[in-house]
Structure 1
Amino acid sequence: MKEQFLGVDVSSHSYERLKQNVLDDINEKRQSFIVAINPEKILKAQEDQDLKALLNKATYQIPDGVGVLLASKLNKGGIKERVTGIDMLLTLCEQAADNGKSVFLYGAKPGVAEEAKDKLIEQYPNLHVAGVLDGYEKDEQKVIQTINESGADILFVALGSPRQEYWIVDHMKELNVSIFQGVGGSFDVISGRVKRAPALFQRFGVEWLYRLISEPWRIKRQIRLPLFLLKVWRDK
């Protein structure tokens, strides 16, 4: 089930549906690719057809951003809840811990993935983290070999967007992994190096407002939301 905004697909699955689909994909040895979609990415895709094609190659385009929910309402669509990238990561880790599946953390600066691993195991004691590797390893064959030898079912790639998504698409067929997700700066947040917005901001889908308050320079990026909604409305 997908909706489309300015030519970019967005999945309308809930967390519960996604969890079941992902578990089915692992058990049936299907490769699936998860990408987080927000208004900024959709607007960038208007100027970059390669990026648009890349986003639409994903199996699950999760609605990461309140702007996507508003766009769905404008179009009388069925997207009812945000599925943020970091929350999807945590959901998959919980799912892995509960079902005997394993995860691999690839990306971020040296030491960050290790710290994120420790925090994830604290949160999900039954989680099997098959391996970690920072994003500064230059030998691509070593990266692929290390991931494959780990036997991981789920791979989280933190190389920044869209680099991480291009990396996933370019290497999926070489990797013995079922689920791929680009997770941006999630390892930094999970490790505690970067503070996430307080729960109240998360609950109301206004993490962007917290980031704007704490990092006013983001104003140029945030004012693109009204532009996005205007384009969606015109495109109806």
Structure 2
Amino acid sequence: MLDTPSSQQDHDKDNLTVDGVTVNVSSLSEAVTSIVDAAEQGEKFSVCTLNLDHVVQLQQKPDFRAAYRRARFVTADGFPIVVLSRLLGVPISRTTGADLVEPLCAAAGEKGLPIFLFGSDTPTLEKSAIELQRRYDGLDVAGIFAPGRGFDAFSTEADDAIARIRASGAKLCFLALGAPKQEVFASRCLDELDGIGFLCIGASLDFIAGTQVRAPRIAQKAGLEWAWRMINDPRRLAPRYARCAAAVPRLLVGTLPQIISARTRFFTSPRTRKAA
């Protein structure tokens, strides 16, 4: 069951907040259940997965920050986000866009929720659609759309994309554009489309199609997926991860008051005193 606005606000007080963005989904299973419930109820919403690169961009790009703050569901993608949430006293597990795609497609097939694949390129989308339908019985891929490389969320091309998504009858739309394009486009779609959930999933469809290889599971669990990616694409990713590393001290300082407040409430609560 989804939280009511008042209960959601109470719940958010205990969660990590970064630049006004609250990580409000603690696990993959919670994410899947919440997203499927919202889709079945015909609600519109967006899903973002917070990592260090996004934290850096939240500081630099007001439209990205605004889009993130509109997200109904925010998971912890980056391992440092997971660590900070746990320091806050909130049990949380890393949930990336790539983690979400397959269980959501499985549920969509079972519950008759059509999906739309958006982003990447046409061959990747076609391969992803075929592969996902092969894996998950009943899955309806209602449409695909691969925008041009310079896609702008407020362009005529975006207008066309929105019209196609609307006409498709999809209930879930997977956006594989990379940040911040996918989040900004999701935010625009919330203003123009009803009854559709937009999931920002980055390179996830490339993994499904086999055009990229995801890090081994042992690297994922150890929080070293970033290292795998950098080794395979150092020219593009080394500068990004250097900026991410530089953001860690600011992030820690910024969340320290939350951590102290949460820990103080914990140790001074009647239940804790009684247990002691």
What TM-score, normalized to structure 1? Answer: 0.90
CA pair 79-38 structure 1, distance change in 2 beyond 3 A:
farther
Aligned to 1:61: 74
Compare 197-206 and 137-146 and name the one that shifted more.
137-146
Q: After the TM superposition, which parts of structure 1 deviate over 6 Å for at least 4 consecutive aligned residues? A: none
- The AA in structure 2 aligned to 1:43 is V
Describe the SS at the equivalent of 2:23.
strand
Aligned to 1:97: 109
Aligned positions of 1:38-117 closer than 5 A = 38-74=51-87, 76-117=88-129
Given the alignment, which residue of 193, 198, 204 partners 2:211? 193
Determine whether 1:134 maps to 2:138: no
1:76-104 Cα offsets, whole Å, 9 max, x none, are 23142001011112221121122221111
- The AA in structure 1 aligned to 2:110 is D
- The AA in structure 1 aligned to 2:18 is F
Which structure has more strand as a fraction of its residues? 1
Distance in 2, Cα, partners of 1:125 & 1:8: 36
CA pair 204-183 structure 1, distance change in 2 beyond 3 A:
same
Aligned positions of 1:133-152 closer than 5 A = 133-136=145-148, 139-152=157-170
Q: How far does residue 225 in structure 1 lie from its aligned partner after superposition?
A: 4.2
Given the alignment, which residue of 198, 201, 211 partners 1:183? 201
Describe the SS at the equivalent of 1:125.
coil
| Identical-residue share of aligned pairs (%) | 28
Distance in 2, Cα, partners of 1:141 & 1:56: 23
Aligned to 2:131: 119
Unaligned ranges ≥5, structure 1: none
- The AA in structure 1 aligned to 2:44 is Q
Q: How far does residue 194 in structure 1 lie from its aligned partner after superposition?
A: 1.0
Aligned to 2:175: 157
For the aligned residues, what is the CA RMSD? 2.1
Given the alignment, which residue of 236, 242, 246 partners 1:227? 246
Q: Is the 8 A contact 2:207 2:214 kept in 1?
A: yes
Distance in 2, Cα, partners of 1:71 & 1:53: 23
How many residues align? The count is 235
Q: Is the 8 A contact 1:5 1:71 kept in 2?
A: no
What TM-score, normalized to structure 2? Answer: 0.77
